[in-house]
Amino acid sequence: MSTRTLSFAAVLLAAVALAGCGGSSSSPTPAPASGATVNATSVGTVGTVLVAGSNGHTLYEFANDVNGSGTSACTGGCATTWPPLAAPATGSPTGGSGVTGTFATITRSDGIVQVTYNGSPLYVYSGDSAAGQSNGNYPKWSPAKP
């Protein structure tokens, strides 16, 4: 096999592992949610998406979640890579300018209270280190749209 073929195989294997989201039983570290506001902001080439009001990080939806089910399909190692957007201890999540959907919360199997938008759990991506990034745009994962 050529080096190029091996490199492609390694990248493909890493993407499949990230998309699968299973594994580790360690507890996730919830995304910071010092403010319960979710805003709509233009992010790079993905367009206008939902971002956490506390830090401007892009919020994501997981295709394996069943909208309105009250549960999250991203647990264990998946929730380490895509931490849930945790609800603040007090108050209800709200939408900022340009966000008209319905916000609520669910209590995950790990005890974290997670913010939902129109019934879909919201997540951040551990590989996004600053506002305006959308590095978590993988198969089965997409930036949440207002």
The domain locations on the chain are 3-143
Least confident of 7-11, 35-39, 41-45, 125-129: 7-11
Rounded Cα gap, residues 77 and 83, in angstroms:
10
Alpha-helix residue ranges (DSSP H) falling in 90-133: none
Average model confidence (pLDDT) across the chain: 81
pLDDT tier, 88 (very low <50, low <70, confident <90, very high otherwise) = confident
112 pLDDT higher than 60: yes
pTM of the entire structure?
0.78
Dihedral sign computed on CA atoms, order 32, 34, 40, 43: negative
Main-chain dihedrals φ then ψ at residue 64, nearest 5 degrees: -80, -10
24 pLDDT higher than 60: no
- Beta strands 94-95 and 37-43 are parallel
